[in-house]
Amino acid sequence: MSLRAIARELGMASSAIYRYFASREDLLTALIIEAYDDLGARTEAVLEASVGQAPRQRWVGAAMAIRTWALDHPHDYALLYGTPIPGYAAPDDTVVPGTRVSLALVSVVRDAAAAGRSGPPPGSAQVSAATSRSMIPLRDAIDLDVSDDVLLFVLLAWTQLFGLLTFELFGQTKGFVDDDEQLFRDAATTMAEQLGLGD
């Protein structure tokens, strides 16, 4: 990927694209920020519209919205969650947009905890002292005052959700899954149950 190649694809003089972006890295950063913001805004809108619904329903609704966005924007999804681009290091500008979707999901857990409608039984997760210590920066970053059990389940749910979606989009479920949408819904529901999100 080079600015010259992009300019050629657009039918522009190679010098013209430099009026908009000084380098390939600047263009990639702009594309990444736009994609993160679009995904974050979609997820936030679904959660905003679901205020008052059961926490489990809100979680699953947000997860399905993320899947719909990914299917509608497979190239954007690949840019965000696919193979890293050689030689490109995302700058700090991408951090806030990049956390929007995760913080939206976390808000469901936070709201449910505040209302007393979440939490797996104590001891339902195996959290070592080392893992507990290593999750302190995560706890601070997402501002989530829950037990280590819940925090571990949040981390597992977040990674499982995007992992399953990545498998689907990159063709890893072909041949052994007939209904990817239902599998994803069932997985999101199971995540909500593990998090202890109430009906």
* In the block, residue with structure tokens 């694809």: 9
pLDDT in the model for residue 156: 93
pLDDT in the model for residue 3: 67
- HSE value, Cβ hemisphere, 13 Å, CA-based, for 137: 2
Please name which of 124, 128, 127, 157 lies closest in space to residue 142, comparing C-alpha atoms: 157
Q: In this structure, which long-range contacts are made by residues 44-47, counting pairs with CB atoms below 8 Å and at least 24 apart in sequence?
A: 44/100, 44/104, 47/104, 47/107, 47/108
Q: Can you tell me the distance from the alpha carbon of 25 to that of 23, in angstroms, rounded to the nearest whole number?
A: 5
Name the token pair of 61: 């609704």
Q: Do residues 6 and 29 touch, judged by C-beta distance below 8 A?
A: no
Domain 3-7+15-195 in CATH 1.10.357.10: yes
Query: What residues of the chain score a pLDDT lower than 50?
Result: none
Domain boundaries defined on the chain: 3-7+15-195
Q: Do residues 149 and 120 touch, judged by C-beta distance below 8 A?
A: yes
Provide the residue type at 112 as one letter. Answer: A
- HSE value, Cβ hemisphere, 13 Å, CA-based, for 58: 26
Give the model confidence (pLDDT) of 166-185 as tens digits: 999 999 998 889 999 999 99
Q: SS3 of 32, please?
A: helix
Please name which of 128, 132, 31 lies closest in space to residue 82, comparing C-alpha atoms: 31
